[in-house]
Amino acid sequence: PHQHTITVRYGETDQMGFAHHANYLLYLEEARTALMAALGVPYGDLEARGIGLPVRKANLRYRAPARFEDVLVVSVWIERVGPASITFGYRIDRPADGVYIADATMELAAIDLENGALCTLPEDLCAGLERARQED
């Protein structure tokens, strides 16, 4: 899996001092866009081709809290590549003490940015993503 490091910022914490649950979706997105860039498919390039990848489904399980200044490692991988969607898997860990923070899956649908309609992923993109999935 691709690993992306994130440090919890003060503004991401709630009154209890924990990273607010909504921020985990941002952590996942940051890791996912870093993975796509590392695979040579930055989101900007997809958008230039007229393709968007909005989130269609997200499943996130919190296992332990993260706090201000915790350094987290978000591991992300491709679980499935369909003709018009990509499913990513995630795991968030805090390496300092080995705590397993959260895990998630997220499905993104391919849409035509011109009209917002579902579209198929280009063959070259599907092939590249499928190769990356098999290498994980």
Instruction: Note the pLDDT tens digit of each residue in 31-59.
Output: 999 999 998 888 899 999 999 999 999 99
Q: Which of 14, 45, 112, 136 is catalytic?
A: 14
Token pair of 96 as six digits: 């300092």
Whole-Å CA distances, 113 to 7, 8, 47, 123: 33, 33, 7, 18
Cα gap 89→65, rounded to integer Å? 20
For the stretch 70-89, pLDDT in tens is 999 999 999 999 999 999 99
pTM score of the predicted model: 0.92
Q: Is 14 among the catalytic positions? A: yes
Q: What phi and psi, each to the nearest 5 degrees, are found at residue 117?
A: -85, 150
Could you tell me the sign of the dihedral formed by the alpha carbons of 117, 45, 43, 75, in that order? positive
Per the CB < 8 A criterion, the answer to whether 49 and 110 are in contact is no
